[in-house]
Structures are given as structure tokens and as C-alpha cells.
Structure 1
Amino acid sequence: MTHTVGVLGATGAVGQRLIQLLDPHPDFEIEALTASSESAGKPYRKAAKWRISTPIPDSVAEITVAETDPDAIPDVDLLFSSLPSSVGERVESDFCEAGYVVSSNSSNQRMAEDVPLVIPEVNADHLGLLEVQRDSRGWDGAMVKNPNCSTITMVPTLKALDEFGLSRVHVATLQAVSGAGYSGVTSMEIIDNAIPHIGGEEEKMESESKKLLGSFDGAELAAHDATVSASCNRIPTLDGHLENVWAEFEAGATVEDAVEAMESYQGIDLPSSPDPLIRVFEEPERPQPRLDRERENGMQICAGGLRESETGIQYNCLAHNTLRGAAGASVLNGELLAKEGYL
């Protein structure tokens, strides 16, 4: 069954990635695009300064961009939101009140108690929070969030290792400039440099990870009790977040145990989910952003450099931050919403 969809914030970097992924999608058909008032009323090809390496899809180029308002768009089955969080905070709830189902990449309300924060291969059952959400907010629509791009890179590997009793996580990230948006980091800031701070990123990783790894009993969500500490750094790579992880466990785990757990971790039967979900490299110098970010259409998590530390397992992980970590994550959540009958 084909579902009609729209993209909120369609002219931005993540919005463009969403269009790139949705145009050939077997189950979704784009019928609505929104942007700021400056872009509204223009055909998409004129409203968007297209920065993706593939051309603007012909089926989308002539769609007239609408205002980001529930009254300005047609009735579609699903909306994908790539709005800035400040805008999303103001308008996403309006769309849900108007009956729209929203799969959002925006950071606002990710930690709200009744908003499911979902990576389908990790915690698809958390989608059940939508029933709680609709009851508590009186919505006909619904809102699901995907987590931050740096969180998405790490959490599937932690989920695979949680069988050993995950108790503490330390992570240091090496994050690509595309994670800040096209104008987020200037060339003079980042060339020949590394920036050891990304505003709000560390707090997002620490809180979102515990929510994603938590348990849902059908009524409320209990966060995982592991301690998560993050240090986030911007480096001059274009795409692909590389992360160094130190994981501690209540039970003992060898490198062989960790490799087997990651390699055997089951994904989910959705069009955008890769098989296998996690690719583990034997080579100690892998994964690398330039070599490994595009694996499985940019949706696979890569891991490597596993070794035993004094307190647990140390390893590296990598994912494409605007595909697996943003637009692709929203599409994957949309596929889960369709599969579970929310559309």
C-alpha cells in the first residue's frame, strides 16, 4: 500500500535528504512540501538551494512549497519533519492536533514522557507510547521522534551488548561538519582544526541513550539505569560520525563475546533497515568515515577496534550522520508507523 507523505522544512539539509530518500521509496509518495514564508508559493526547484549530489527528483521539482501550517497543506497520511527545533517546538503539535502523524528529526520533545524516541531495530515496542500520548494530549494525530545523529551511531551497538549487563558508558565523538547544517561551521573554524565542544550534544547523548535503552510496560517508560558520559568534538570530515566508546558491564565480556553479540544482533523487516544492522571489522584501523559511511545506503552501523580494557570493552563505531542519523532514521520510523497500522 502506498501512503501519501509530506516534508516539513523541505528546503533545509535534512529536508533535502528526506526528498532524496522518499522519491524512489516503494511505500511513500510525496505530495506536500513546506518551508519558511520566504519560500512559500515557489516551485520546489526554485525554493531549494539543492546541495545533494543527485539531481532534484522530477516528481518533486514542480511541487509548490507551502507555509508550514496545517491549513496550508493537503491531507496526507504521514509528515516527516526536519524543522529547526525552535520552529518544531511551535508548530509540530499543531499538526498533531489537526490529525497528522509526524515522524520528526527535530530535537524538541524528544525527552517528553509520552513521546516515543525510536530506533526501530532497538526499541520498536516504544511506539506503544503513542496510545498514551493520544490519551494524554487529546490528539487524533501522533508524534514520534528519532534521536540525535551521534546517539543513533552508538546506541545499536550498546543494545547488542546490553545482554552482559551494561552499567557505564563513556564516549568521545569525532563528528562531521554536515551535522551542523550547511552554514553551521565556517571553513575558517574547522579547516586545520578540531572543535572540542558541540552545544547541547553531550547532554542529548547522555539522556537519549538511557531513554532508547529503557523498558516500556505498556503504560510508561523506565529509562535504563546505565551511566552515560559523553564528550563531543567537531572534526573536518564531511559526513560520518566516528565515536570511541568504553562500555562497562555487570557481567564479564570478552572481545569474542562482544563481536558475536554485535554481529548476531537482529535488525527489523523494514525497507530501509540493513542486514546485517552492525558490520564489525577485524582491521584495527576501521571503520573510517570516508571508507565506510555509505555502507548499505548509509544505513548500516559499523564497529571495529574492539579490545578489552580494565573495566570492560573499548571499541569504535561509525554511521552516516545525515542518512542513518537523520533523514534515514525518520524514514525508518515512518516505515515502522506504517507497519504497525498508525497511518
Structure 2
Amino acid sequence: MTVTAGILGATGAVGQRLIQLLEPHPDFELVTLTASDASAGHPYRDVAKWRIDAPIPETIAEMTVRRTDPDDIPDDIDLLFSSLPSDVGKRVEPELCEAGYVVSSNSSNDRTAPDVPLTIPEVNAGHLDVLEVQREERGWDGALVKNPNCSTITMVPTLAALDSFGIEQIHVSTLQAVSGAGYSGVSSMEIIDNAIPHIGGEEQKMEAEACKLLGAFDGREINWHEADVAASCNRIPTIDGHLENVWVETRDEITTEDAAAAMRSYESLDLHSSPDPLIHVFEEPDRPQPRLDRLHGNGMAVTAGGLRETSNGVQYNCLAHNTIRGAAGASVLNGELLLRDGWL
């Protein structure tokens, strides 16, 4: 089954990555692109400063950009992928859902709302069922699904693999690529020969989103995981790929062999964009590295390594491609899950 799809905020960095992933996708036919009012009415090639290291697909280049407004989007769109700025998404996405559109969103607004599923399909696909509550309480014919923050996505699959040992505390320090801030988000004078030990709001996102993702849906609400999470987020001068140092304290005894086996055996899904394996574990102590390992599984896999035992758990490093697995690819994967589970 092929469904019609559109992209909200198609000219930005994540919007461009969405085009790269969706244009050849076997399940989605990309028929609509939206952007700001200033870009609307023009061919995409004339308003997008294309940054992807591959040409703009010709069918997309000539497509006329529409306004990001329910009145300007065709009624017969099955699924909208949103890469809107959060302040715009907060206003526009509910309007679109009320108008009957299903939205798979990368925007940060509403990620922790009780009736909005925040999903990594391989981790918590069952949380999608909260859409029944969402539609009932909000009176929507459409639906809103969120993927997590790029740094959260990097860490949480590895945590899900270890949760059978009873995770009680999580500490994480991130080394995040500059592309996570957008093309003009960090100036070269700030980041070259430097590291910036603060990313506004990032720690809070990781701490909250991880607990929601690892929680359990009881049929009416998502009961968040009770682990204590503490995050420290840092920007470093790599282009793509978020590397994270994670310390996990568990209730039950866990060895490095236990942790490696749990990660390696953690099941992926039979979705078009989901990698197999989901988590690749390195034996080498100096891996993963952003330049070498960010494109594992076509950029959709999580890699881990540097495992060692601590007094009450394990420490390890993990890595994912922040604009593929951590953003556009995550939204596409959620779209595939919505299609598989009959929400479209």
C-alpha cells in the first residue's frame, strides 16, 4: 500500500533530510511540501538552500511550495511529516490534527503531553495506542505522534536493552555534532578549536523523554519509568553523529558480557527503515566514533562500545546519526509504524 505524504517545514535541514529519505521510499508518495509564507508559491529549488550531499530529486525541485496552513494543504494527504520549529509546531500541528491530518513530528513541542505518543518503534511501539485517548479527549479525526530528541534517541535503545536488569539511575554526558543546531545554529568562530558545555534545554529533554519512552502504557495512560536520569550536554566540532558516555546503575548484578549480549540480541522491527541489528556493539575500546560509525545501518542503527563494569552497574559509549536516526529517519520510521498498525 502506497500512501500520500507531505512535509511541513520542507526547506530546513531536517526537511531536506526527509526529502532524501522519502522521495525513493516504497510506502510513501511525496506530493506536498510546505514552508513559510515567503517561500510559498515558488518552486522548491528556488527557495531551498540545499545542503544534502546529493542532488535535489528532479520531481521535488519543480514542486511548488505551499503555505503551512490547513487551508492550503490538500485534503487527500494521508500523512504529514513535520520538521517545523517548535513555536510554529505548537500552533499549527493541533490545527492540522483537528482538520483530520495524521502528523508524524520531529518538533519538540508536546513530546511529554500525556496523550501524545513519543515513540521509538523498536522500543515502545505499543505507546501508539494512546492515540485512542488522544482522539477521544481532543475530538480529533487526525492524530499527532512525536519522535524524541536526537540525543535521547541515541541513548534509549541501549537502555531498553538493559532494563531487564532493573535500571535505577542513568547518568549521561553527550558530545553532540553541530548539525544538531541547524545549519546556522553554531558559528564557526564558536565551535572550531572549542567545545561548548551547554545546549539550551537539552538536558531537560533527555531526562524527561527517556523516562516517558521507557514507561508502560496501561490502556489509558503512559506510566513513566522511575529511573533517575541526569544529563550533561556538550557541543563539539563534529558535523554529524552524537556520541554519548552513559553510566547505568541497576538493581540486579550486571557484567559487561551481560550488557553486550542484551544489546546485541535486542530485537529490531520488520519495518522498511529499521536496521538489523538495531544496536551494533563493538569489541574495540575506541569505538564507536562519529566519522567512522554514524552511517551504520544506513544511519538508522545505534552503535555502542567501551563497555566496563562499575561498582553498581555498567558504563559504555553509544552513537547515532543525529539528523537521520535522531530526526528525519525517526519521523519516517514512526510513519511506517502508523501505516503498519492501521492508523492511516
1:229 aligned residue? 230
The alpha-carbon deviation at position 226 of structure 1 amounts to 0.5
State the secondary structure of the residue aligned to 1:287. Answer: coil
Please tell me whether residue 206 in structure 1 is matched to residue 213 in structure 2.
no
2:18 aligned residue? 18
* In structure 2, C-alpha distance between the alignment counterparts of 1:279 and 1:139, rounded to whole Å: 40
2:336 aligned residue? 335
The alpha-carbon deviation at position 218 of structure 1 amounts to 1.1
Residue 53 of structure 1 aligns with an amino acid whose one-letter code is D
Residue 129 of structure 2 aligns with an amino acid whose one-letter code is G
The alpha-carbon deviation at position 61 of structure 1 amounts to 1.0
Contact 2:175 2:244 in 1 (8 A): yes
State the secondary structure of the residue aligned to 1:341. Answer: coil
Q: What percentage of aligned pairs have identical amino acids? A: 74
Give 5+ residue unaligned stretches, structure 2. none
1:104 aligned residue? 105
Please tell me whether residue 147 in structure 1 is matched to residue 148 in structure 2.
yes
Residue 58 of structure 1 aligns with an amino acid whose one-letter code is E
Residue 16 of structure 1 aligns with an amino acid whose one-letter code is Q
* In structure 2, C-alpha distance between the alignment counterparts of 1:239 and 1:317, rounded to whole Å: 14
1:68 aligned residue? 68
1:264 aligned residue? 265
> How many residues are treated as equivalent by the alignment?
343
2:8 aligned residue? 8
Contact 2:178 2:236 in 1 (8 A): yes
* In structure 2, C-alpha distance between the alignment counterparts of 1:38 and 1:44, rounded to whole Å: 12
* In structure 1, C-alpha distance between the alignment counterparts of 2:102 and 2:12, rounded to whole Å: 21
Deviations 1:273-323 (A, max 9, x none): 000000000000000000000111100000000000112100000000000
2:41 aligned residue? 41
1:90 aligned residue? 91
The TM-score with structure 2 as length reference comes to 0.99
1:121 aligned residue? 122
Please tell me whether residue 275 in structure 1 is matched to residue 276 in structure 2.
yes
The alpha-carbon deviation at position 144 of structure 1 amounts to 0.2
State the secondary structure of the residue aligned to 1:30. Answer: strand
* In structure 1, C-alpha distance between the alignment counterparts of 2:3 and 2:297, rounded to whole Å: 24
Residue 166 of structure 2 aligns with an amino acid whose one-letter code is G
2:135 aligned residue? 134
1:250 aligned residue? 251
State the secondary structure of the residue aligned to 2:103. Answer: strand
Give 5+ residue unaligned stretches, structure 1. none
Residue 12 of structure 1 aligns with an amino acid whose one-letter code is G
* In structure 1, C-alpha distance between the alignment counterparts of 2:156 and 2:107, rounded to whole Å: 18
Please tell me whether residue 189 in structure 1 is matched to residue 190 in structure 2.
yes
State the secondary structure of the residue aligned to 1:170. Answer: strand
The TM-score with structure 1 as length reference comes to 1.00
* In structure 1, C-alpha distance between the alignment counterparts of 2:132 and 2:59, rounded to whole Å: 35
State the secondary structure of the residue aligned to 1:4. Answer: strand
